[in-house]
């Protein structure tokens, strides 16, 4: 434990308050998050790592570069090199096939935008049964995990590169949050906290009905959740819960063990944020015929209950991939997304803000396996199913972040 104390010097970089990105875009990414123009082709071997989280049918998720589904492509093994798969032809990235996404729920809040849902991730090469992992802009070398991974959103009516985001991906579920603003007491780094990596989407992203939301598609406004693991108290103080984590470290030839976090799992998040202005859609569609990957119409997106032509169509044409069939496959989808939409009133009300730490140590909701081992290289997770908690141990959780920088 003592050998980590000097690393506390790294803390300022871990609580950086930057909202828009200031460092360079990934080397394999296009300069801007544009839709592909008519006449170009989606490149299913692209190495673009540019994600955009814009709406219920316009978002990207991470997947392995190798789509064979072979065991070595488990997310935990390929975190530094995962690539972007998008629901629309954009960002020079790969395309998520129609039907893969079985539920998507987009929420726009004052502090972040979030997409979560269910999918058949094997359609983009995620290994069957893979509990997946947590991807974020930090990683073992602080270059992003994946390295060169970047994220935009257009919440302000224009595309903006944001610095802080977090995502969980597994073979059957996904969630991504992009932090677009911060307040005096909640920084973007806190709101997109990336160390609760075995707690799963429902807990980390405060989704009340997560497991009841398969096979539906909604877009809502919402209030912001409390930052993951933080429990604001009535008296103005905040208690902090941290994931339990036992690992080994090697340092100057020595090997040792460390444990951070607590052994009791919180029964719930601080509160489930209310949603409003929800619009329900019947499905989403990418508008591309995956028989030949050709973009034959201006991409469209769902907005306020209708299908509209997408803005920011780029000019960079991608050429026809070798091996693409000359004629369109029969399974191709039509270019226009169906948009049978219905509006509903406001969603769930805020829950209580009591911290209610129970004694349950169950980790049944975790969507993602502990990823410390792969992101840190020299850290091995032991007994990763023990999840956490306690009050006022923020420094311990932050220590974990420091350790992963070794």
Ligand X SMILES: *[C@@H]1O[C@H](CO)[C@@H](O)[C@H](O)[C@H]1NC(C)=O
- 202, 238, 268, 373: which one binds ligand X (CB under 6 A): 238
3-class secondary structure, 12: helix
118 scored as a contact of ligand X (CB under 6 A): yes
Complete DSSP assignment for 217-270: EEEEEEPPPPPTTEEE-TTS-EEE----EEEEEEETTEEEEEEES-S--BSS-S
x-or-dash string of contact with ligand X, 192-221, rule CB under 6 A: ----------------------xx------
- 33, 76, 137, 261: which one binds ligand X (CB under 6 A): 137
Rounded Cα gap, residues 88 and 154, in angstroms: 15
47 scored as a contact of ligand X (CB under 6 A): yes
68-97 positions binding ligand X, by CB under 6 A: none
Residue 140 Rama label (left phi>0; alpha psi -120 to 50; beta): alpha
Only one residue has tokens 């850290």, namely 379
Name the one range near ligand X by CB under 6 A: 19-27, 216-224, 274-282, 333-341. Answer: 19-27
Measured in residues, the chain has a length of 406
226 scored as a contact of ligand X (CB under 6 A): yes
Q: DSSP letter for 336, please.
A: S
Rounded Cα gap, residues 300 and 263, in angstroms: 48
Rounded Cα gap, residues 278 and 273, in angstroms: 14
Please give the distance of CA 38 from its chain centroid, rounded to a whole number. Answer: 29
Q: DSSP letter for 294, please.
A: B
23 scored as a contact of ligand X (CB under 6 A): yes
- 37, 65, 69, 232: which one binds ligand X (CB under 6 A): 232
293-332 positions binding ligand X, by CB under 6 A: 318-319, 321
Q: DSSP letter for 373, please.
A: H
Pairing outcome for strands 254-260 and 275-281 = unpaired
Name the one range near ligand X by CB under 6 A: 45-53, 54-62, 281-289, 338-346. Answer: 45-53
Name the one range near ligand X by CB under 6 A: 38-46, 254-262, 343-351, 370-378. Answer: 38-46
185 scored as a contact of ligand X (CB under 6 A): yes
165-184 positions binding ligand X, by CB under 6 A: 172-173
User: Applying CB under 6 A, what is the total number of residues that bind ligand X?
Assistant: 35
Name the one range near ligand X by CB under 6 A: 235-243, 282-290, 300-308, 335-343. Answer: 235-243
Contact present, 168 and 174 (Cβ < 8 Å): yes
C-beta closer to ligand X: residue 58 or 163: 163
Contact present, 243 and 196 (Cβ < 8 Å): yes
21 scored as a contact of ligand X (CB under 6 A): yes
Name the one range near ligand X by CB under 6 A: 124-132, 224-232, 241-249, 275-283. Answer: 224-232
- 76, 97, 144, 287: which one binds ligand X (CB under 6 A): 144
Only one residue has tokens 């007994």, namely 383
Q: Tell the smallest beta-carbon distance from residue 140 to ligand X (Å).
A: 12
The Cβ-side half-sphere exposure at 361, using a 13 Å CA radius, reads 12
- 13, 68, 237, 331: which one binds ligand X (CB under 6 A): 237
- 13, 68, 233, 382: which one binds ligand X (CB under 6 A): 233
Q: Tell the smallest beta-carbon distance from residue 321 to ligand X (Å).
A: 5
C-beta closer to ligand X: residue 48 or 275: 48
- 32, 77, 102, 122: which one binds ligand X (CB under 6 A): 102
What dihedral angle (degrees, nearest 10) is formed by the CA atoms of 68, 74, 79, 84? 40
- 58, 74, 130, 163: which one binds ligand X (CB under 6 A): 163
Contact present, 201 and 367 (Cβ < 8 Å): yes
Paired tokens of 378: 């020299």
352 scored as a contact of ligand X (CB under 6 A): no
Q: DSSP letter for 321, please.
A: P
Rounded Cα gap, residues 398 and 392, in angstroms: 12
Footprint of ligand X (CB under 6 A): 21-26, 43, 45-47, 102, 118, 137, 143-144, 150, 161, 163, 172-173, 185-186, 214-215, 226-227, 230, 232-233, 235, 237-238, 318-319, 321
């Amino acid at each position: 434990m003592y050998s980590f104390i000097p690393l506390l010097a790294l803390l300022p970089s871990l609580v950086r308050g930057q909202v828009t990105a200031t460092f360079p875009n990934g080397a394999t990414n296009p300069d801007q998050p544009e839709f592909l123009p008519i006449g170009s082709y989606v490149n299913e071997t692209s190495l673009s790592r540019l994600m955009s989280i814009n709406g219920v049918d316009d978002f990207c998720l991470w997947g392995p570069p190798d789509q064979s589904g072979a065991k070595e492509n488990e997310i935990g093994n390929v975190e530094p090199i995962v690539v972007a798969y998008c629901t629309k032809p954009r960002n020079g990235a790969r395309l998520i096939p129609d039907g893969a996404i079985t539920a998507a729920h987009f929420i726009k809040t004052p502090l972040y935008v979030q997409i979560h849902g269910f999918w058949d991730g094997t359609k983009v090469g995620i290994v069957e049964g893979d509990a997946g992992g947590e991807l974020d802009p930090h990683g073992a070398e602080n270059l992003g995990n994946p390295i060169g991974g970047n994220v935009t959103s257009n919440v302000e009516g224009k595309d903006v590169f944001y610095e802080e985001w977090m995502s969980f991906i597994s073979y059957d579920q996904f969630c991504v949050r992009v932090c677009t603003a911060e307040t005096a007491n909640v920084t973007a780094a806190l709101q997109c906290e990336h160390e609760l990596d075995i707690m799963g989407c429902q807990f980390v992203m405060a989704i009340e009905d997560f497991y009841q939301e398969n096979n539906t598609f909604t877009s809502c406004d919402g209030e912001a959740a409390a930052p993951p693991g933080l429990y604001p108290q009535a008296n103005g103080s905040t208690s902090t819960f941290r994931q339990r984590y036992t690992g080994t470290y090697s340092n100057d030839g020595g090997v040792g063990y460390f444990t951070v976090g607590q052994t009791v799992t919180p029964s719930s998040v601080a509160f489930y944020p209310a949603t409003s202005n929800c619009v329900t859609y019947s499905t989403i569609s990418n508008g591309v015929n995956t028989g030949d990957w050709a973009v034959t119409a201006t991409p469209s997106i769902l907005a306020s209950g209708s299908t509209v032509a997408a803005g920011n169509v780029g000019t960079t044409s991608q050429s026809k991939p070798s091996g693409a069939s000359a004629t369109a496959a029969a399974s191709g989808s039509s270019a226009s997304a169906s948009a049978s939409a219905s509006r509903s009133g406001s969603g769930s009300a805020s829950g209580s803000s009591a911290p209610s730490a129970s004694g349950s140590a169950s980790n049944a909701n975790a969507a993602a396996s502990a990823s410390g081992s792969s992101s840190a290289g020299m850290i091995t997770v032991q007994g990763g199913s023990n999840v956490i908690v306690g009050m006022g141990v923020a420094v311990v959780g932050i220590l974990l972040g420091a350790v992963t920088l070794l």
